[in-house]
Amino acid sequence: MRPVARADRGRLYRRYLRHVRSDEVATQVDVRMMERAVSLARAAALHDEVPVGAVLYETATNRVLAEASNTRETENDPCGHAELIAMRQGARALGDWRLTGCTLVVTLEPCHMCAGAIVNARVGRVVYGADDPKAGAVRSLRRVLEDPRLNHRVRAVRGVLAAECGDVLREFFRRKRRQ
């Protein structure tokens, strides 16, 4: 995959704005961070991991705190999801488990486990690419991040570079089925 040229970023952002169906709107920083998450996902696929990438950054300063991809297969860790790893690393970098001033960018809609951790870590925003109709807990199956029974609600932005994120996953599973 070729890197997205600076001129193309504006075009991609405008196209995203036309198709977004969320109260929250992604910023150009979110799109740039999603591009990084997609490259992390592609790298994970080379290690036979489900290609999911995540980037955690400070919303106010745009400082990247952590980057991660899935490690379930390589580490034999059922909790080796990119989101969890990025949040752990980010909390260490901040010196605080509360990630209220942070945005988590992830290529695939978080599952129930990750959504619960996102709420418990008090993440401020979540930005994700592809919907996950089989396990997604942000919009697809449940709405964990906005459940009024929980002590924290998280703003979510969906569909950022969704086609590209979905293509990475589809290609990975297409290759797995051929093997």
- Tell me the catalytic residues: 83
- Strand 64-69's sheet: what is its strand order? 64-69, 53-58, 102-108, 125-130, 155-157
Q: Residues near 64 by Cβ (< 8 Å), separated by ≥ 6?
A: 33, 36, 55, 56, 57
CB 154 within 8 A of CB 118: yes
First to last CA, the chain: 23
Rg, C-alpha atoms of the chain: 15
Count CB atoms within 10 A of the CB of residue 78.
8
Residue with tokens 């040229």: 5
Three-state DSSP state, 140: coil
- Compute the Cα dihedral for 65, 20, 166, 12 and give only its sign: negative
Q: Is 57 helix (H, G, I), strand (E, B) or coil?
A: strand
